[in-house]
Structure 1
């Protein structure tokens, strides 16, 4: 048995048999994984629910391992919401244990149809897990969560429906704003080179060619051949900028930049994008809409 599985079993034994100390008038409690999901549940639930996110700003969900405190939160939750599609690959055993003790869980990837998910044989689940980078997907997930929450916690149904409808209006406005911004960029310049392959949904929805130095998961490492291949392509296609990510070490992208420079050409670091996690809660990038707007402005302005 691996060290990870042993730790999960030990933590499970510590908390699984403890009673949930829910006060009679306490709020419906939802525990979430990524910051994007935390933000989504806060928008739908508002004051009607208590949302507890286990991952903070800048945290890489591909590498995240459950702490003792996380397991305590999960075992006390009324609902656990996670991305699924193996984004939180090191938490799979934990979610299975939560199901075994009767905790209600929902994976957002399971709320989408096969047509809405990008297939990838290069990832463990054979699907690209970065589903939030499609605004269409995020709207569909919002609608499905409204229904799910309303059935699970019917006394707050009106709140979920009202808040959810308002949030979808905001997502519609964001989608139009992004389309308008992208139109500033000539089609031949719409080539997005990033640290890892997190932006394929964005590329599909807004007509960008997306090239990641690492694969779909940050658990993979970019090799010398990857750097050489991509640096040659940058030179051939005359790509103006490449991008680092807030939740991924910058060394691979800087190595790519150095490789281009070693061949007598230049490519700039166009800025830092937010991929697998939001920014700090007190900043523009601390919510999904602000993060998406910031990313698009950064990309378009750097590639003009």
Structure 2
């Protein structure tokens, strides 16, 4: 079922409560969409709003000179907990087209996007993955009935989302369709090369230590694709709570697998990871807090993680440095690369 959103009466009321004008075309009876701008009518550059950093980066590459992209959620912002402000509503209302991740990543913003789709072109970059029931989508329990939304941590999967952005922009602005498709193909090729680069670097971690312990379950796609085991203290959302049984399970794995490092996330307070250090030490195993990982947001320019490619490379460098723990950089004899 498509994620391209239709407006319903309840969401019109939400927008009115936020002080945003709602088109009279929003129907409250059968939930049918009202009038929608399906083709760009103006002159470039298009005014484009993206929700998250990875989405904004993808759209910026594809739109090229034909678009100006504004991203709502900057470095260190947790999309699971994000609540829109009035300035965000103004940006959304003034946009020619809006791109979002989908799969309920932007949970608290979803109602607003749903209402906005009556009057603007609104696209989820994961839409085709859902429509085609892509087998790479990671099914999880307890996340509002949606697959894991953190698809950008698989570079090859994200390359397919970039290609979808190219098709969406070509549909919305057919006069420049050839440019959008070419830009999308060029950038997707870069991400396919990045995928190969990540596989090579992760293969340098001893297989026994390819365990990625983080605050929440944001790296499931990464771990599945690149041959690691992902252990998040929380579930898919940072709103989830940590229970004692999960904490004990993670400590047992750290000790049994001689994992030297756990990782904090840029959008989550580090205290939750620090709580693992003492129980490991009590069992004679030293574990340290590694470099910060970018789970749900890009970093700042000074971090070198303010682009998607930079973010992936920064994460991989932190993982390799933390998990090798002084071991040789070559894969163990007989071990296959992920």
Could you tell me how far apart the structure 2 residues matched to 1:120 and 1:241 are?
26
C-alpha contact (below 8 Å) 1:227/1:259 kept by paired residues:
no
Are residue 110 (structure 1) and residue 117 (structure 2) matched? no
What SS does structure 2 have at the residue aligned with 1:185? Answer: coil
Deviations 1:153-211 (A, max 9, x none): 01222321232222122112211211111121122221111111000100111111110
Task: Tell me which residue corresponds to 2:257.
Answer: 237
What SS does structure 2 have at the residue aligned with 1:210? Answer: strand
Q: How does 1:191-206 map to 2 (within 5 A)?
A: 191-206=211-226
| 1:231, distance to aligned residue in structure 2 (A) | 1.3
Change (3 A) 1:203 1:97: same
Task: Tell me which residue corresponds to 1:83.
Answer: 101
2:153 to 133, 142, 154: 133
Are residue 14 (structure 1) and residue 31 (structure 2) matched? no
| 1:225, distance to aligned residue in structure 2 (A) | 3.2
Task: Tell me which residue corresponds to 2:244.
Answer: 224
What SS does structure 1 have at the residue aligned with 2:290? Answer: strand
C-alpha contact (below 8 Å) 1:260/1:267 kept by paired residues:
yes
| TM-score calculated relative to the size of structure 1 | 0.91
| 1:125, distance to aligned residue in structure 2 (A) | 2.8
Are residue 73 (structure 1) and residue 88 (structure 2) matched? no
Deviations 1:209-268 (A, max 9, x none): 110011110011213332233112211221111100001111100112222223342101
Could you tell me how far apart the structure 2 residues matched to 1:14 and 1:126 are?
28
| 1:72, distance to aligned residue in structure 2 (A) | 1.3
Are residue 160 (structure 1) and residue 166 (structure 2) matched? no
Q: How does 1:14-33 map to 2 (within 5 A)?
A: 14-16=20-22, 25-33=43-51
| 1:283, distance to aligned residue in structure 2 (A) | 3.9
Task: Tell me which residue corresponds to 2:71.
Answer: 53
Are residue 95 (structure 1) and residue 102 (structure 2) matched? no
CA RMSD after TM alignment: 2.2
Are residue 34 (structure 1) and residue 52 (structure 2) matched? yes
Which sections of structure 2, spanning at least 5 residues, go unmatched?
1-10, 25-36, 325-338
Could you tell me how far apart the structure 1 residues matched to 2:320 and 2:53 are?
24
Change (3 A) 1:157 1:9: same
What SS does structure 2 have at the residue aligned with 1:52? Answer: strand
C-alpha contact (below 8 Å) 1:85/1:125 kept by paired residues:
no
After superposing on structure 2, the runs of 4+ consecutive aligned residues of structure 1 that deviate more than 4 Å are 4-8
Change (3 A) 1:221 1:5: farther
| 1:9, distance to aligned residue in structure 2 (A) | 3.7
